[in-house]
Structure 1
């Protein structure tokens, strides 16, 4: 919303300078986005009258003028403007004047003729970007008066950045009400009285879409002079509000819109047929509007039409065919209230916007239409002449303003300050609200122009604005802090991430919505959870695995010549689950990917690619001190012969393995990466290390080599040995796996190093032999092992 300070001060004039007024508006929530002078600084330019004009003897395009600048003496000035003529009143820069651009006027000779000043155009004064000649002033302009004073060029232009809820401030009247409420200064708003009808001519109006247009007013004005000049004061106010002067009738409708906030439209009455109707457009109906566009209207677009054709897109823009011109003699002046929901988005649908749509889609005062029509009629009769007919009004059910209860106790709780009851009442009355007291509470009925006041918090916000946000103290928060218990068996997600980072992995964060093909490939999920409104057409489903995102990250890195990649991600996956109240389960997962060399290329260690066992070592590090085992598995994302389930005592927690060859080929990867995916919860609730006494007695080490079927899983063998460990067996480690000569076909040899030690005494051979025999016997019995000879 742009307006001039002088226009605002004609309605309300608080004892504040421009800077203080700007600060006041900003602190009240009406942010002043820009504050600019209407003209740049210049000095010694006065109103002058050209008395005589003769051709320059030595220049075809120059004239020698005798100019009255006040004081009785005429000044000789050489001027090249094409429109200079005797009798004109124009701005004159006298010798010593400094014009915009630091241009100083001096007495000089122009082609041999002395010139004592310069007659100025609007461009030379900085009040217009282009001009074709001198700035011609009205005939009644007083000679000798400073042009800055006469044209009010010390005025300032305010530009407010309004929030959508403050549509009431899209007018000078609304801003004046705000300033009056904030400063306690009385506002002098435009006096509007009904214009008596002097002719009986009328045009019927009808509401055929009352929900979209519950109020429509119009009247005929005959015998207007559409060619009359718009007065300078109106042109200045319009231009300083960012609206170009077009013609007097159009200027009047724009002026009333800026002054009161009610958009109006004027039709050429001679171009109308029958009743004027507010109705919904018919499918495929077309209308050429004032900006030159021809619109094909849809059935949810509200139009103003007569008995023969559509006339305007209601609340947005009028039609070209029914618009007024300089030849218009009779006009039909419209003022209506349109429901915001019926206007919102319609202009943007057709690729443009208008001042009217900007206001109507935010909400215009539903009681304002008849008053604005009377105000516009006053100005038309005053500036263009003519005779007005009676007002025709069609009215349906208008919005209701429900009373809102305001409790002082609630005000104190929300704002954190105790506002005296007298201040609360004063602020509410200053806002023009209908207030009555009910006990200690206030019952407030918002006015028709305040669509944004609906609940108690809206009123509290108004009190905060009027009291002043900068007057509300901001004490430091106070509270007692208590150290909460934190179990050592529980570690944070951050600490889990730090463990992976210490192994050379880097964290990534991917979208939780992914391509549907990823779900089918990496999770065999053909019925994923679909998004109702995806941010991109390809990211249309929710993920059930993190592996796909890591593969995409790897592909991106490879395209950028990164040949060694370690990535991990912790995030939610999404599954349908009828048991959950929401119908969905959202477990946290942790996934990682390793690609390229085990170590970065260096001179001290030979390069080799990362393999399953490297990734397995990373997981064992991550899961320690919990006992983890790996069992053969089949997973849609992984190589069927090079993948495993990751299991703890409580069961499976994830998978590990090499990416499936089919996906390596499909996603154009040179080599298969190694990946893992785990449930995050078991990693957070870990096991505390248990203290064990360190023995001072010598340990006994025995090697046990057994032969058993090659398909027997190592995890099963370790499980048997673990169940048979007695008190003196401290550690069992596999140190050799052998197949080939000396071992039967279909068999393998496993060699274990067994460490035995007692904390109380030196072990005897008999004890060692018994423990050794117990372990061997269990292997023979449970997995069919034989002692290797």
Structure 2
């Protein structure tokens, strides 16, 4: 919004500079966008009166003007090339030695005639970007008066950016209210006393729910040819609005002054009365910009008893507007629903000063004040006889909310305490009604300390003014307090919090999901209700919970294993030529005992190639140990072991139960061949499923210094029974609690020539290292002998020779 600084200071004049004023408005949310002078820098330009005009004897396009520049000054002979000069005109006249921007006026000789000055256009003085001819001043302008003084050009044009919620500041009055609240300067209130009617002429008005407040007035016998006063013209120009005629200029002036859009109809063009209604299909309207638009039932219009007159809140119609022959007018001041105006303006791609304000919300109680103010100005400028005010108020007018404001909430949100006496002062300065409130006495809306020693909680009931649509909640009031109190006054404090260790360390589900994603898995999400036939094949020992009203036949029971949802996905993808599948899912399984138990599970399925197809790597199918490696990555933080076992859905020779401290927490294995064939899957398909709760447990990490002494490795090839697995071997060795043993790895398995059919050779590497000294071969040899002896006694293992 653009406005004149002098105009603003007539309403409120704080004792601060323009820069400081703009800085305060910006900090309060009304962002300063720019400032510029109202005119070009010039001096020695006065008001001149053209006394005579004769044609130049040596140039057809030039005129010789005698100009009166004051009673005590001689007449000036000025040669002028403008075509609009006439006797009696009052014009800006630059005297000899006048400086206009970079131009200095000197005595000159134009085609043999001496010229002692220059008659100026509005463009030359920097008052307009474009102008034709000499600038015409009002006839009552005093000859000889400095033009800067007469037009009050010692002024600045200020532009601020407003957010959509601050429609109340789209007027001089609205900005003045803000400045007054920010600076504590006195605000001058505009006198909008009712005008005594001179005639009793009225019009019947039919309202509409989208126009809850409509005010109108008939004014007869106006002088439509009257000239808009220079002070109104200048304030409009400095606000970026073009002057049109006295009546239109005054309605625009009130729009800028109070923020109320208004419209003047030619009374003689109206038939019957005014109707605020929705348009009818087939109707059309030619607007003031000469654009003809088609209307329908979604568009709110102002109409008489025969036709639409104006697009409500957006633009007037050409057939009922004020023209040169207008003698009687009907003045309109209304409040329209913002959503209706926004919809109309967007639909027809029209953005006017009126629609801009109505979209953001106009004070619903402003209409009467505005029409009284406009009437006063119209009577002063164009004269006329006013009728009584005609007012329609709908039941749909919404009452202002009553909001409770707590001092504790203010401190909590702002992080600082504002004096209890300052809070109501700030809110009152913004036009709000503030009354103390006691929830202890009046109700139980808030819980306050009942101790009478020190009640720190204070509560107020606040009613925002009708022009503040954006204030509905307690936090809105606190924002207003922060704006006026000053964001820069709120101390900057780093947030404080107590860092407490959890009672027990744990991992998160996100961590486990990340482990699998990093190993090339993708997460799947399936339904908790599954096919009962597939469920029975995967988990025949548990009876699933049936659904009373299943969505479909193949979604009739609650799953007891997540595999029931994952395997159909594998089937679907394999049929679409996907040769590498790695999926996992986390979710609940449902087991019915005395009560329905819901257990959190993590399950996965792997099928196809070990690696994606590439030229440098042959096609290798995934195997049991690939998947086992993935599971080990999930359970590496807890003490787990794999035990050979059987499961009805898994391959008899490739199935392992997973135990954590003697409690089974999951399964790992290849899908049973019969199921693979029945589901028409391409082998191999490997599955795992784990209970989630045990996986969340994790021991606190302990620091261990890295040894500076060298490590020694010993490799052993052991003959063991075919049914002995590596985990048994590892457990047997670790249970010896050898202090210097730091690692144990299986690096070879052999069955074949030289080995009995019921035996196998396991090659393991033992890594030793001491934290206090370098180990000798003798020490290591002695430990290795103990290991071999222990394995012979426990597992029947023998050193292979």
TM-score range, shorter chain: 0.5 to 0.7
What corresponds to 2:472 in structure 1?
A: 454
Q: Is the 8 A contact 1:3 1:241 kept in 2?
A: yes
Question: What's the offset of the Cα at 1:492?
Answer: 12
| Correspondence for 1:381 among 379, 382, 391 | 379
CA distance in 2, matches of 1:647, 1:387: 99
Q: Is the 8 A contact 2:601 2:691 kept in 1?
A: no
Q: Is the 8 A contact 2:586 2:603 kept in 1?
A: no
CA distance in 2, matches of 1:22, 1:284: 51
What corresponds to 1:357 in structure 2?
A: 355
Question: What's the offset of the Cα at 1:4?
Answer: 0.9
Provide the secondary structure at the position in 1 that maps to 2:268.
helix
| Residue 262, structure 1, aligned to residue 279, structure 2 | no
Summarize the Cα distance change of 1:698–1:479 in structure 2 as closer, same or farther, 3 Å threshold: closer
Question: What's the offset of the Cα at 1:319?
Answer: 2.9
Range with greater deviation from structure 2 (607-616 or 729-738): 607-616
Summarize the Cα distance change of 1:134–1:578 in structure 2 as closer, same or farther, 3 Å threshold: farther
CA distance in 1, matches of 2:301, 2:669: 63
What corresponds to 2:17 in structure 1?
A: 17
CA distance in 2, matches of 1:251, 1:380: 10
What corresponds to 1:198 in structure 2?
A: 198
What corresponds to 1:141 in structure 2?
A: 141
Summarize the Cα distance change of 1:67–1:467 in structure 2 as closer, same or farther, 3 Å threshold: same
CA distance in 1, matches of 2:387, 2:405: 45
Question: What's the offset of the Cα at 1:306?
Answer: 2.7
What corresponds to 2:677 in structure 1?
A: none
TM-score (norm 1): 0.68
Gaps of 5+ in 1: 506-517, 528-543, 546-571, 580-584, 599-605, 631-643, 656-677, 709-715, 779-787
CA RMSD in angstroms, aligned pairs only: 5.7
Question: What's the offset of the Cα at 1:18?
Answer: 2.3
Question: What's the offset of the Cα at 1:524?
Answer: 9.1
What corresponds to 1:34 in structure 2?
A: 34
Summarize the Cα distance change of 1:155–1:576 in structure 2 as closer, same or farther, 3 Å threshold: farther
Question: What's the offset of the Cα at 1:474?
Answer: 0.8
Question: What's the offset of the Cα at 1:62?
Answer: 3.1
Question: What's the offset of the Cα at 1:176?
Answer: 2.5
Q: Is the 8 A contact 2:53 2:65 kept in 1?
A: yes
Question: What's the offset of the Cα at 1:355?
Answer: 1.9
Question: What's the offset of the Cα at 1:577?
Answer: 11
| Residue 762, structure 1, aligned to residue 779, structure 2 | no
Provide the secondary structure at the position in 1 that maps to 2:400.
coil
CA distance in 1, matches of 2:790, 2:266: 116
CA distance in 2, matches of 1:112, 1:653: 113
Summarize the Cα distance change of 1:117–1:429 in structure 2 as closer, same or farther, 3 Å threshold: same
Question: What's the offset of the Cα at 1:21?
Answer: 2.7
Q: Deviations over 1:291-315 (max 9, x none)?
A: 3444444544433233323333322
Q: Deviations over 1:568-608 (max 9, x none)?
A: xxxx99999999xxxxx99999x9x999999xxxxxxx976
CA distance in 2, matches of 1:618, 1:399: 64
Provide the secondary structure at the position in 2 that maps to 1:329.
coil
What corresponds to 2:336 in structure 1?
A: 338
Summarize the Cα distance change of 1:396–1:679 in structure 2 as closer, same or farther, 3 Å threshold: farther
CA distance in 1, matches of 2:119, 2:412: 65
Q: Is the 8 A contact 1:697 1:762 kept in 2?
A: no
Within 5 A, what are the aligned runs for 1:166-185? 166-185=166-185
Range with greater deviation from structure 2 (182-191 or 681-690): 681-690
| Residue 91, structure 1, aligned to residue 104, structure 2 | no
Within 5 A, what are the aligned runs for 1:560-579? none
Question: What's the offset of the Cα at 1:401?
Answer: 2.3
What corresponds to 1:634 in structure 2?
A: none
Q: Is the 8 A contact 1:725 1:775 kept in 2?
A: no
What corresponds to 2:315 in structure 1?
A: 317
CA distance in 2, matches of 1:750, 1:86: 126
Summarize the Cα distance change of 1:627–1:327 in structure 2 as closer, same or farther, 3 Å threshold: farther
Question: What's the offset of the Cα at 1:161?
Answer: 1.9
What corresponds to 1:348 in structure 2?
A: 346
Q: Is the 8 A contact 1:491 1:686 kept in 2?
A: no
Range with greater deviation from structure 2 (192-201 or 617-626): 617-626
What corresponds to 1:328 in structure 2?
A: 326
Summarize the Cα distance change of 1:190–1:523 in structure 2 as closer, same or farther, 3 Å threshold: closer
| Correspondence for 1:733 among 728, 733, 746 | 746
Summarize the Cα distance change of 1:574–1:731 in structure 2 as closer, same or farther, 3 Å threshold: closer
Q: Is the 8 A contact 1:734 1:750 kept in 2?
A: no
What corresponds to 1:80 in structure 2?
A: 81
What corresponds to 1:509 in structure 2?
A: none
Q: Deviations over 1:69-116 (max 9, x none)?
A: 44523344333222234443322333433323x233334444454444
CA distance in 2, matches of 1:476, 1:762: 65
CA distance in 2, matches of 1:653, 1:342: 65
CA distance in 2, matches of 1:266, 1:247: 11
What corresponds to 1:702 in structure 2?
A: 717
Summarize the Cα distance change of 1:761–1:267 in structure 2 as closer, same or farther, 3 Å threshold: same
What corresponds to 2:400 in structure 1?
A: 401
Q: Is the 8 A contact 1:654 1:679 kept in 2?
A: no
Gaps of 5+ in 2: 439-457, 530-564, 567-583, 592-599, 643-654, 671-689, 769-778
Question: What's the offset of the Cα at 1:205?
Answer: 0.8
Within 5 A, what are the aligned runs for 1:98-117? 98-100=99-101, 102-111=102-111, 113-117=113-117
Within 5 A, what are the aligned runs for 1:600-679? 650-651=665-666
What corresponds to 2:152 in structure 1?
A: 152
Q: Is the 8 A contact 1:406 1:442 kept in 2?
A: yes
Q: Is the 8 A contact 1:493 1:684 kept in 2?
A: no
Summarize the Cα distance change of 1:289–1:86 in structure 2 as closer, same or farther, 3 Å threshold: closer
Range with greater deviation from structure 2 (176-185 or 490-499): 490-499
Provide the secondary structure at the position in 2 that maps to 1:762.
helix
What corresponds to 2:239 in structure 1?
A: 241
Summarize the Cα distance change of 1:286–1:719 in structure 2 as closer, same or farther, 3 Å threshold: farther
Q: Is the 8 A contact 1:647 1:654 kept in 2?
A: no
CA distance in 1, matches of 2:296, 2:398: 26
Q: Deviations over 1:203-250 (max 9, x none)?
A: 11122x33x222222222233333332222211111211211122222
Summarize the Cα distance change of 1:751–1:337 in structure 2 as closer, same or farther, 3 Å threshold: same
CA distance in 2, matches of 1:237, 1:588: 75
CA distance in 2, matches of 1:476, 1:773: 69
Question: What's the offset of the Cα at 1:394?
Answer: 2.0
- Give the greater-gyration-radius structure (CA): 2
Q: Deviations over 1:676-717 (max 9, x none)?
A: xx9999998667799999999984521669999xxxxxxx97
Question: What's the offset of the Cα at 1:408?
Answer: 5.1
Provide the secondary structure at the position in 2 that maps to 1:48.
strand
CA distance in 2, matches of 1:315, 1:645: 77
Q: Deviations over 1:350-383 (max 9, x none)?
A: 3222222222232222222122222222333332
What corresponds to 1:635 in structure 2?
A: none
Q: Deviations over 1:50-83 (max 9, x none)?
A: 4444444544433444444445233443332222
Summarize the Cα distance change of 1:684–1:289 in structure 2 as closer, same or farther, 3 Å threshold: farther
Range with greater deviation from structure 2 (308-317 or 365-374): 308-317
Question: What's the offset of the Cα at 1:191?
Answer: 1.9
Q: Is the 8 A contact 1:249 1:380 kept in 2?
A: yes
Q: Deviations over 1:171-224 (max 9, x none)?
A: 2222223333444443333322222333333211122x33x2222222222333
TM-score (norm 2): 0.67
Q: Deviations over 1:12-40 (max 9, x none)?
A: 33333322332333333333222221113
Q: Is the 8 A contact 1:222 1:387 kept in 2?
A: yes
Q: Is the 8 A contact 2:218 2:328 kept in 1?
A: yes
Summarize the Cα distance change of 1:14–1:762 in structure 2 as closer, same or farther, 3 Å threshold: closer
Provide the secondary structure at the position in 1 that maps to 2:357.
helix
Summarize the Cα distance change of 1:438–1:340 in structure 2 as closer, same or farther, 3 Å threshold: same
CA distance in 1, matches of 2:392, 2:590: 55
Range with greater deviation from structure 2 (751-760 or 139-148): 751-760
Q: Is the 8 A contact 2:221 2:383 kept in 1?
A: yes
